[in-house]
């Protein structure tokens, strides 16, 4: 494999001075090193990462974007209508989750794994697949320089086991709760609710603590759990709907919160577990400063906004909002890291998760009729 140190040194040697992106475990070594030295700015989503990189280029500083191929959709608008349209050259490293064999990765990576190369070919962006050698990296960066000279973009596609990981220094955390304790406490208040849980460790933790057909474990689709919850809450006002989100996912598409505040479904409770990191991709930080979720919720139009740091506060806030019209937002501050919970796909296919959830909705409707 290519060492993370060599990877970053090669970019330094070629004059790259600004980096942004959204993490992927395939690139966690470079993410860790770039963040340690302060030249990496974590972005809420891949489109913002690309637009920041374009702004860096316009200021005279060469920039690169690092992202997972599942976030390629978030990149396409600014890639095609900004970087390509205005001939702002950019270097992108995009992981190849779900490639070359979809069955070697989680099911939600299958479609993009098969389609990543075709998408790039369809929009006319030059690209190459990185091999696990230093010579391959150097050759692809040479190709990127050729495209740069023409005002064009170049994408380095990174398969699994191509770039080596490196250790991520532990960050001090003032949170008292770990993820499992917080999820266990929340689960006590989810009976009879329709629950949407966000991608990554949160869905896996909730599955490990409390597996039920009334929970839709959303793996993939980062940032869209609140959209699922809002769509259900608006169309099933007789149901109590709870979204269990993460801070990185909620920040990725903050417009979802604004829409909840505008539509104001009384039956929706939005929980955000905030540990300031992307645990499922290697523990990279989401932001450098804490979000004031309660204030944000109220500003967006939620009826209530609360923050908690202990099990007792979780119990208190969840009990209180259960009898009040919403929408409500409850932020739970937790420590990063923790034991790795089981994957939902160890017991259920995605299709089975959908079928169980639909059956529970139908059952409730029959009971109420």
Q: Domain-by-domain residue ranges, the chain?
A: 4-158, 179-368
pLDDT of residue 256: 96
> Residue 287 pLDDT more than 90?
no
- Secondary structure of 106-141 as H, E, C letters: CHHHHHHHHHHHHHHHHHCCEEEECCCCHHHHHHHH
Residue ranges with strand state E in the chain: 16-21, 40-42, 62-67, 91-95, 126-129, 154-158, 194-197, 215-217, 241-246, 268-274, 277-278, 284-285, 304-308, 328-333
- Examine domains 4-158 and 179-368 and report if their fold is the same: yes
Question: Which is the CATH superfamily of the domain at 4-158?
Answer: Thiamin diphosphate (ThDP)-binding fold, Pyr/PP domains (3.40.50.970)
> Residue 176 pLDDT more than 90?
no
> Residue 369 pLDDT more than 70?
no
Residue with tokens 């098969």: 114
Name the residue among 278, 277, 329 with its Cα closest to residue 304.
329
> Residue 188 pLDDT more than 90?
yes
> Residue 148 pLDDT more than 70?
yes
Give the list of residues 6+ apart from residue 15 with CB closer than 8 angstroms, or none: 62
Q: What value does the mean pLDDT take over residues 173-198?
A: 92
**For residue 158, what are the β-bridge partners?**
95
Residue with tokens 């409850």: 330
Q: Which of 38-47, 64-73, 282-291, 350-359 has the lowest mean pLDDT?
A: 282-291
| Rounded Cα distance, 340 and 331, in Å | 22
Sheet of 154-158, strand order:
40-42, 16-21, 62-67, 91-95, 154-158, 126-129
Backbone φ and ψ for 16, nearest 5 degrees, come out as -80, 130
The domain 179-368: what is its CATH number? 3.40.50.970
> Residue 316 pLDDT more than 80?
yes
Q: What value does the mean pLDDT take over residues 188-193?
A: 94
| Rounded Cα distance, 157 and 98, in Å | 12
DSSP codes, 150-192: TT--EEEEE-TTSB-----PPPP----B-HHHHHHHHHTT-TT
pLDDT of residue 168: 64
Q: Which of 188-197, 221-230, 304-313, 336-345 has the lowest mean pLDDT?
A: 336-345
Contact between 67 and 49 under an 8 Å Cβ cutoff? The reply is: yes
pLDDT of residue 281: 77
pTM: 0.91
Q: Which of 79-93, 104-118, 160-174 has the lowest mean pLDDT?
A: 160-174
pLDDT band at 170 (very low <50, low <70, confident <90, very high): low
| Rounded Cα distance, 226 and 332, in Å | 16
pLDDT of residue 286: 76
């Amino acid at each position: 494999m290519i060492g993370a140190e060599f990877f970053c040194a090669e970019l330094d040697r070629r004059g790259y001075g600004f980096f942004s992106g959204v993490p992927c475990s395939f690139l966690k070594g470079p993410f860790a090193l770039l963040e340690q030295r302060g030249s990496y700015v974590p972005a809420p989503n891949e489109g913002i990462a690309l637009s920041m990189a374009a702004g860096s280029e316009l200021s005279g500083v060469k920039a690169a974007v690092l992202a997972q191929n599942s976030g390629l959709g978030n990149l396409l608008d600014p890639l095609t209508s900004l970087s390509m349209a205005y001939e702002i050259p950019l270097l992108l490293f995009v992981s190849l989750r779900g490639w070359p064999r979809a069955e070697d990765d989680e099911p939600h990576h299958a479609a993009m794994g098969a389609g990543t190369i075709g998408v790039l070919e369809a929009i006319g962006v030059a690209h190459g697949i990185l091999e696990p050698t230093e010579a391959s990296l150097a050759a692809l960066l040479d190709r990127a320089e050729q495209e740069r000279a023409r005002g064009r973009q170049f994408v380095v596609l990174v398969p699994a086991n191509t770039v080596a990981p490196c250790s991520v220094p532990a960050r001090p955390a003032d949170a008292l709760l770990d993820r499992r304790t917080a999820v266990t406490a929340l689960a006590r208040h989810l009976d009879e609710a329709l629950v949407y849980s966000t991608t990554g460790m949160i869905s896996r933790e909730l599955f490990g603590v409390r597996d039920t057909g009334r929970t839709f474990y959303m793996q993939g689709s980062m940032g869209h759990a609140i959209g699922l919850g809002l769509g259900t809450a608006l169309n099933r006002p007789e149901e109590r709907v709870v979204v269990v989100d993460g801070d990185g996912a909620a920040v990725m598409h903050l417009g979802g919160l604004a829409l909840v505040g505008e539509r104001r479904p009384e039956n929706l409770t939005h929980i955000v577990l905030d540990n300031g990191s992307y645990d499922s991709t290697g523990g990279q930080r989401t932001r450098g400063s804490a979000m004031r979720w309660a204030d944000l919720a109220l500003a967006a139009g939620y009826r209530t906004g609360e923050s908690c740091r202990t099990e007792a506060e979780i119990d208190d806030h969840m009990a209180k909002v259960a009898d009040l019209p919403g929408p409500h937002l409850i932020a739970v501050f937790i420590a990063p890291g923790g034991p790795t919970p089981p994957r939902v796909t160890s017991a259920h296919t995605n299709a089975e998760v959908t079928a169980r959830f639909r059956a529970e909705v139908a059952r409730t409707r029959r009971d109420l009729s």
